[in-house]
Structure formats: structure tokens, C-alpha cells
Amino acid sequence: MAGEKAPRAFPIEELPGHLIGEVLTSGGLAAADLARLEATCRALRPLAEYAASKLCAARAAFAAMGPAARGGLLERCGGSWKKVLRFLQSVEQSSGTVETTSGSMQVATGRYHTLLVHDSSVYSCGSSLCGVLGHGPDTTQCAAFSRVSFPSLSCVINISASHNHAAFVLESGEVFTCGDNSSLCCGHGEVGRTIFRPMQVEALKGIPCKQVATGLSFTVILTRDGQVYTCGSNTHGQLGHGDTIDRATPKLIELFEGSTPVVQIAAGASYTFAVTDDGTVHSFGSCTNFCLGHGDQHDELLPRAIQSFKWRNIHVVRVSAGDEHAVALDALGYVWCSGERYLTESPVVGFSKQSLHICG
């Protein structure tokens, strides 16, 4: 209206410090956002650091670390809370979607095919000889990414691809699978046929899940409350039930029931890893080339904690599994490897620290 004064613009540094801090810690900012804010005004550096420290403290991975690990991580990051925050955010994204300038994305690869999540929709390309692309029986291959249809309207938040099947977790917590079910790896019971389109795993209805990991003819599922289910081939005990009996539907691993919640899973060709909230790594299944990290080559039929990490007081935050080797990332950003070294003469017996590190 006539006569009214326009709002006065003023620099952000003129705002009360406690108000700026409240804004910075409640907006879900990334470490890069805080760094850019600091670059616009050096006077805001203490507030940006304060906000980063509060955002770190709110993260589950940081809260689960002991005081020594937290202090060590801050020291490794040169005393910068923004670098600590960037590390923690990278850890969180390592098992799920990554925010990019083109939207949220996640990629998973099998032997001859690729799955892509883009803004919660799934696309696939490559060979579909056993239904892994999820496009139906008439599709044998896709030269370019094509969208996969799901019966449910929920968004896809996690995917995993193996040689012969694929698994998906929806925002609703439902799990879908497709591919060659001759080994019962898709979890749909005694259905030996190929499943050409994603089908919901009925045995997990009412059990909200958050991550899937597919090995060679078996599947591992992590629930939101930190429990682990497995199904499929169990030749080497990779299902973690204390035997070598195949499972046609997902079965709960009893050893994890009532214990420290599992926060991340990984599946190799015939073995499985599970990381618990306290930073302990459990492995089970085939131990060819020492890939389980126990220093021997005996198959493990039940989840077994890797003692070498516990003896060194190492808190592991993420693990990844290949055909016969594994890589672990600890809370200080160091990388540890175990198993087959394809470019050298001998495998790594137990987990060994590598010169590569991820931090800062």
C-alpha cells in the first residue's frame, strides 16, 4: 500500500548468533552448504563450525562411536567439524542414494546388467536372459536405460543386483525381487521359475525393511529395526542359520535377534557381512582366500565377529563385499581389505589397513 516502507535488507551477520545457529542446525544442510556460507563471510566461521558439530552429533553413526573414536575422527579431519560432517554424510550415502545436481541416484551392477535409481524411479539396461531387468518375458536386452514398473506406487529407496537376480526396497519398507528363482534366491517360496517382473516378497509383509544385498543365488535383507533375513542357496552357510539348508523364503537370523542392531549388510559371491551399531563386523559363509577376515579358510555357518577389529578397538562403519575379497571403512576414515588380491600373488589373510584413506 501507498506510504508503507519496504522491508529493510540487512547482512546475515547482523542477526543474533543464537538465531543463526538455530537456522543452520535445523535445515538439514550439508557440509558443502556450510562451507559456502562461511566463504561468503568469514565472520560466520565459528557459527558454521558450531552448526556442523551439532549436525554431527545428531547422526546415528557418530552417536554410536566412543569418545576416543569421535576425538580421533575430529583430529584426522584437522579439527574441522565441517570435514567430519562431510565424512559422515558420505558414509550415510554409501549404502543408499546419493544427492547429485541431477537428482538423487543409486547404481547397482550385475554381471551383464545395470540398475539405476533416479529420483525414486528404477531404470535398467543390459542383458535380461534371466529376468533381471524386470521388463517382462519379451525383453531379452535393453541398450539404453528403461524404466521398471512396480505394482506399488511407493518410491524405491534401495536396490541390489547380482549375476542372476535383483532386489528392491520401497519407501514403504516392502521388498520386491525378480530374476532366476531356480535357487530360491528371490524369496517367493518353492517357485522355481524365472520371475520377469518385480514381485513383492510375501513373507516380509508387515516387516518394514531398509536395505537388500544380493549374492550369487542368495539374498540378504535388513529391516528398519536392525534384524537380518536371508533366503536362497546356502551351500557354504552364507544364510547364517548354522546349517547348509537352502531357504525358499526369508528366514530371520536368530543370532542377531535381541542383540545390537545391524546397521548395514553386504553380500559377496557366497558369503555375507553385517555391521552392527557398535561398529562390530560379523561375517559368515564361504571363506575362500580368507575373504571373511578371520585369518583362516573355514566356512562359517553362523555370524562370527571379526576379532582383529575388536582387539584394535576399531569401529567399522561400512563394509563392501566382492567375489572373494572385502573392503571395510572405519570411523577414522581408514580403509581395510581382506581376501583375494587379483593383481598380486597372494590373498590378504585377515583385514589389513591400506594406504588409501577417506577423510577430510
Would you call 126 helix, strand, or coil by DSSP? strand
CB 127 within 8 A of CB 140: yes
pLDDT of residue 37: 75
pLDDT tens digits along 223-232: 999 999 999 9
Residues in the chain, pLDDT under 70: 1-27, 94-95, 152, 340-360
Give me the CATH number covering residue 235: 2.130.10.30
Q: How many domains does the chain have?
A: 2
pLDDT tens digits along 12-43: 556 555 666 666 666 677 788 888 877 877 77
Same-domain status, 159 and 249: yes
pLDDT of residue 11: 59
Sheet containing 156-161, strands listed edge to edge, beginning at the edge strand earlier in sequence? 156-161, 165-170, 175-180, 194-200
| 81 to 3, 42, 55, 309, 336: CA distances (angstroms) | 48, 16, 9, 26, 24
Domain boundary among 51, 73, 93: 93
- Cα dihedral angle (169, 175, 176, 177), rounded to 10 degrees? 90
pLDDT of residue 87: 87
Same-domain status, 160 and 240: yes
CB 195 within 8 A of CB 131: yes
Same-domain status, 204 and 150: yes
pLDDT of residue 350: 53
Domain boundary among 93, 122, 152: 93
Residue 258 lies in a domain: yes
- Domain ranges, residue 58: 20-93
Same-domain status, 318 and 330: yes
**pTM value?**
0.84
Same-domain status, 103 and 89: no
